[in-house]
């Protein structure tokens, strides 16, 4: 399911509101005031206040302050206009709640039935303002219907060909290159003398992992000094040189670092490679589908706007 917030924010509609978008003195309930109309369906100020509250501005003072931010209010109203336009299209197409939505739909229907005009009453609570549960249920149901609408109207048009996948792969080949890596073990001690003594022991045939468990002061001693796989860019230059110059099974000379003196044994080496197309086909397809979805959605929404009657106060 598409992320609805991204869809709504993509609206490029510019809304210019007048002084009526700010709150007024005590005793003047203007939550039923219409700020805009979409095909003669009003967008009430209470919807704006609900969105502001959902964004985390809930005390009367916070809401009063944010409603004075004209740029913020304009964007919220633009999003609500887009949402209303899409909701009307969902109703026109008889989009139904998905199987994951029946309880939410029932709650919203019950909420509507309890209100003759189908609109939630304004919030009257003092202090922190929260939208009534019925209003939140209705808003959530509308947005789920809109998401279902977009899936039905946009997703079937998204086609990604093998040719497009291959072209994207070759154009972004650097993204799929992987550096060579080594898997190594280490023994870390405090002095050069101890490192040289251990090195002679290892040359006589002692098992590196066993010696690491007994002598190394590094936390990885309990795993035989196993460092796992790493590339040259993921470690200090002197350690990279010591490990990447060794053959598998080879043991380095002592290497000094801020932590002490290290001895390394290379356990495995993986050469640099470029991931084949088959390994990255799915990720490329996902990327191309996302790009196409955004373009198709914008064009489809633009067509809806051209057919709609949108009036601003």
Cα torsion at 16, 20, 24, 28 (round to 10°)? -150
Alpha carbon distance 101, 90 (integer Å): 15
What's the pLDDT score for residue 306?
95
Q: Quickly state the pLDDT bin for 96 (edges 50, 70, 90).
A: confident
Q: Is 51 helix (H, G, I), strand (E, B) or coil?
A: helix
Say yes or no to pLDDT of 167 above 60.
yes
CB 4 within 8 A of CB 146: yes
Sheet holding 255-257, edge to edge: 226-231, 181-189, 260-270, 255-257
Specify whether the backbone of 27 is left (phi greater than 0), alpha (psi in -120 to 50) or beta: left
Rounded to an integer, the average pLDDT of 244-248 is: 96
Say yes or no to pLDDT of 155 above 60.
yes
Rounded to an integer, the average pLDDT of 46-75 is: 85
Rounded to an integer, the average pLDDT of 82-110 is: 71
Rounded to an integer, the average pLDDT of 257-281 is: 97
Share of the chain above pLDDT 70, in %: 77
Longest dimension (CA), the chain: 93
> Cβ-count burial of 60 within 10 angstroms (0-12 exposed, 13-18 middle, 19+ buried)?
middle
Average pLDDT of the chain to the nearest whole number: 82
pTM flag (> 0.75): no
What's the pLDDT score for residue 24?
42
Alpha carbon distance 50, 58 (integer Å): 9
Q: Say which residue, 47 or 186, is predicted with more confidence.
A: 186
CB 129 within 8 A of CB 60: yes
Q: Say which residue, 233 or 58, is predicted with more confidence.
A: 233
Beta-bridge partner residues of 257: 260
Rounded to an integer, the average pLDDT of 80-104 is: 80
H-helix segments, the chain: 4-9, 45-54, 60-66, 70-92, 102-113, 133-154, 162-171, 192-203, 208-215, 237-244, 277-307
**Torsion sign (Cα): 139, 301, 97, 40:** positive
CB 36 within 8 A of CB 312: yes
Lowest average pLDDT, out of 51-55, 88-92, 176-180, 189-193, goes to 51-55
Lowest average pLDDT, out of 2-11, 44-53, 124-133, goes to 2-11
């Amino acid at each position: 399911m598409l992320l609805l917030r991204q869809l709504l924010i993509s609206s490029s509609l510019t809304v210019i509101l007048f002084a009526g978008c700010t709150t007024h003195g005590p005793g003047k309930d203007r939550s039923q005031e219409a700020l805009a109309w979409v095909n003669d369906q009003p967008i009430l100020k209470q919807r704006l206040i609900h969105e502001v509250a959902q964004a985390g501005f809930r005390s009367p003072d916070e809401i009063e302050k944010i409603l004075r931010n004209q740029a913020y209010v304009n964007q919220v109203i633009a999003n609500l206009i887009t949402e209303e336009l899409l909701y009307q299209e969902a109703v026109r197409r008889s989009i139904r709640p998905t199987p994951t939505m029946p309880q939410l739909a029932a709650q919203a229907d019950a909420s509507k039935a309890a209100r003759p005009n189908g609109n939630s009453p304004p919030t009257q609570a003092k202090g922190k303002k929260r939208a009534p549960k019925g209003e939140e249920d209705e808003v959530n149901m509308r947005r789920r219907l809109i998401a279902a609408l977009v899936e039905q109207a946009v997703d079937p048009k998204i086609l990604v060909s093998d040719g497009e996948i291959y072209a994207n792969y070759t154009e972004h080949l650097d993204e799929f290159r992987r550096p060579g890596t080594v898997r190594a073990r280490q023994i870390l001690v405090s002095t050069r003398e101890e490192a040289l003594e251990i090195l002679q022991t290892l040359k006589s045939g002692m098992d590196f992992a066993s010696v690491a468990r007994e002598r190394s002061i590094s936390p990885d001693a309990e795993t035989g000094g196993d460092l796992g796989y790493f590339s040259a860019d993921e470690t200090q230059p002197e350690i990279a040189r010591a490990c990447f110059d060794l053959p598998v099974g080879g043991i380095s000379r002592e290497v000094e670092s801020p932590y002490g003196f290290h001895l390394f044994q290379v356990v495995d080496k993986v050469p640099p490679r470029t991931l084949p197309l088959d390994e990255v086909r799915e990720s490329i397809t996902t990327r191309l589908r996302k790009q196409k979805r955004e373009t198709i959605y914008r064009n489809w929404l633009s067509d809806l706007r051209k057919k709609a009657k949108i009036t601003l106060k």
